[in-house]
Amino acid sequence: MINFSRVARQLNEAAGSGGRAFEDQVPRIMQNIYPTGKFIKPRSQKIKTDLYHDEETGNPEDNVNYSVKWTRDNGNPSKVHQVNRNRNRPNDFAPGTFSKLKIDPKRFGLENYGKFINTLRGDGQDNKLIQAMLMRFGTNHLDGKGNPFSFPDFFEDSVGGRLNDAQRRVFNRVRKDEETPFVKAGELAQNFPRHHQAMMEHLNANKKEIFNRMVRKNGAAFGNKVPYEDFDPSMISRLIHRHTGDDFDELSVRNIDDSRVDSMINDMRWHGKGTHTYLAPQSTDDWNSRILDITPWDYEASRWANNPSSTEFDEDESNWGARPGFMKATMGMDEDLADKYFPKIWHGERRKGSNSNYQGDFLI
């Protein structure tokens, strides 16, 4: 029998110390929900798995992997991925922005500046895709003189005679806009239709793989890579979601296995607004109703630490500012959206301010 009193106390203890402390409490919480289970929390920050159930087969691919999310009652999604600069080598090309969107940097020579320029000069569909990525996300490449690479300058120097007035206005806006030095979704669609088409065709053809790379699995097994240290040996198939507000504290365990993701992906399409590119059943201004939202590292994105919430701004203002070549991604945690695609396996709650314990049960 589940000891709900102990589960409630553990959740209460975690509440005062932030999300990291909550993650540390999760193995004990899950042990009370599944008394016979063996739950292990990896120490690595490189992977998507926050907790796994050891099936004790000797093969880590057989384990059940969990992701842990905690959202407040502020209508905001949860951050699932970010590509940031390497502090030790800040000028190194960041391949993650491309690879997470299932674009192989090595195939297009993106890590080498000379090959990168040759790719940009092409006029094929693949070249248009890379050019579109550059316009939407920028790059941290340095040019031949050691200065930050300017894609407006490159395009004007390379194909200046073929740019129309509207395209030049977009590039002029990008040059002057320090907070958002990227081509926005509407600007790309209206003024660079071939680039927009190349990008959307690629994204829609790879919806599931992109979602999995952003949300469910990181890294791959090769060489001396160690499972649960360097890579996730299998996909995340369970989501532990804690949702708190002024008068409630809820905990859900949700099913996000392959069958649920397949069903969800069939209903999703890529949309764009402002700097955002997102997966949703239809266009929406509600970030929390976007199952996956990807944005370049503009000034807006630089300010929030864990999600786009005014209560979770990064307090270190030295981190604020656009960083071309990098990105952040969030997952919408709207209750109706989550219930439709990722049903609850177990759910419990406790009203704040009451003396009652969390009450919960298995739902499926």
Residue 357 pLDDT greater than 70, yes or no: no
How much is the average pLDDT of 167-174? 96
92 located within any domain:
no
* pLDDT at residue 349 in the model: 84
In Å, how far are 40, 81, 120, 327 from 100, measured between CA atoms?
A: 27, 9, 20, 10
52 located within any domain:
yes
| pLDDT higher at 18 or 70 | 70
The residue behind tokens 């050691």 is 146
Instruction: Tell which phi-psi region holds residue 350, choosing left (phi > 0), alpha (psi between -120 and 50) or beta.
Output: beta
Residue 230 pLDDT greater than 50, yes or no: yes
Residues 263 and 323 both lie in one domain: yes
C-alpha span between 229 and 347 (Å, rounded): 30
- Residue 307 CB contacts under 8 Å (≥ 6 apart), including other chains: 71, 76, 77, 78, 79, 330
- Residue 211 CB contacts under 8 Å (≥ 6 apart), including other chains: 261, 265, 279, 291, 292
Domain boundary among 182, 205, 228: 205
Q: Give 319's pLDDT tier (boundaries 50, 70, 90).
A: confident
DSSP 318: G
96 located within any domain:
no
CB atoms within 10 A of CB 301: 23
Instruction: Output the CA torsion 201→205→211→216 (10° steps).
Output: -150
How much is the average pLDDT of 73-89? 81
214 located within any domain:
yes
How much is the average pLDDT of 171-182? 95
Residues 213 and 347 both lie in one domain: yes
> Quick one: which of 114, 106, 80 has its CA closest to 216?
80
CB atoms within 10 A of CB 264: 20
Residue 133 pLDDT greater than 90, yes or no: yes
Q: Give 36's pLDDT tier (boundaries 50, 70, 90).
A: very high
Residues 164 and 243 both lie in one domain: no
Residues 199 and 217 both lie in one domain: no
Residues 256 and 342 both lie in one domain: yes
* pLDDT at residue 14 in the model: 41
Residues 278 and 163 both lie in one domain: no
- Residue 95 CB contacts under 8 Å (≥ 6 apart), including other chains: 105, 110, 111
C-alpha span between 101 and 210 (Å, rounded): 5
Q: What percent of the chain has pLDDT over 90?
A: 57
Please give the mean pLDDT across all residues of the chain: 87
How much is the average pLDDT of 7-30? 61
Q: Which helix (H) or strand (E) holds 236?
A: strand 236-244
C-alpha span between 291 and 3 (Å, rounded): 33
Q: What is the biggest distance separating any 2 CA atoms in the chain, rounded to whole angstroms? A: 74
C-alpha span between 313 and 323 (Å, rounded): 17
Residues 161 and 279 both lie in one domain: no
Q: At what angle do helices 125-137 and 151-159 cross, to 10 degrees?
A: 140
Residues 140 and 270 both lie in one domain: no
* pLDDT at residue 277 in the model: 97
**Cα three-residue angle 272-318-296, rounded to 5 degrees:** 15
Concatenate the DSSP letters of all residues of 252-310 into one string. Answer: EEEE-SHHHHHHHHHH-EEEEETTEEEEESS--S-GGG-SEEEEE--HHHHHBSSSS-T
91 located within any domain:
no
| Burial class for 112, CB neighbours closer than 10 Å (0-12, 13-18, 19+) | middle
Residue 10 pLDDT greater than 50, yes or no: no
Residues 201 and 212 both lie in one domain: no
Name the least confident of 85-94, 116-125, 139-148, 164-173: 85-94
* pLDDT at residue 160 in the model: 65
How much is the average pLDDT of 350-363? 62
C-alpha span between 323 and 180 (Å, rounded): 9
| pLDDT higher at 144 or 194 | 194
Q: Give 134's pLDDT tier (boundaries 50, 70, 90).
A: very high
Domain boundary among 181, 205, 229: 205
Residue 1 pLDDT greater than 50, yes or no: no
93 located within any domain:
no
Residue 93 pLDDT greater than 60, yes or no: yes
| pLDDT higher at 162 or 281 | 281
349 located within any domain:
yes
Residues 55-80 pLDDT 10s: 999 999 999 999 999 888 767 888 89
Q: How far is CA 22 from the centre of its chain?
A: 20
Residues 306 and 226 both lie in one domain: yes
Residues 198 and 158 both lie in one domain: yes
* pLDDT at residue 320 in the model: 87
Which structural domain, as residue segments, surrounds residue 123? Answer: 103-205
HSE toward the beta carbon, residue 348, CA cutoff 13 A: 21
78 located within any domain:
yes
C-alpha span between 280 and 197 (Å, rounded): 18
Contact indicator for 279, 270 with CB cutoff of 8 Å: yes
* pLDDT at residue 104 in the model: 93
How much is the average pLDDT of 214-238? 92
| Radius of gyration in angstroms for the set of CA atoms belonging to the chain, rounded to a whole number | 22
Residues 231 and 312 both lie in one domain: yes
Residue 3 pLDDT greater than 60, yes or no: no
Domain boundary among 172, 205, 238: 205
**Per the structure, how many domains does the chain have?**
2
- Residue 201 CB contacts under 8 Å (≥ 6 apart), including other chains: 125
In terms of pTM, does the model score above 0.75? yes
How much is the average pLDDT of 136-161? 86
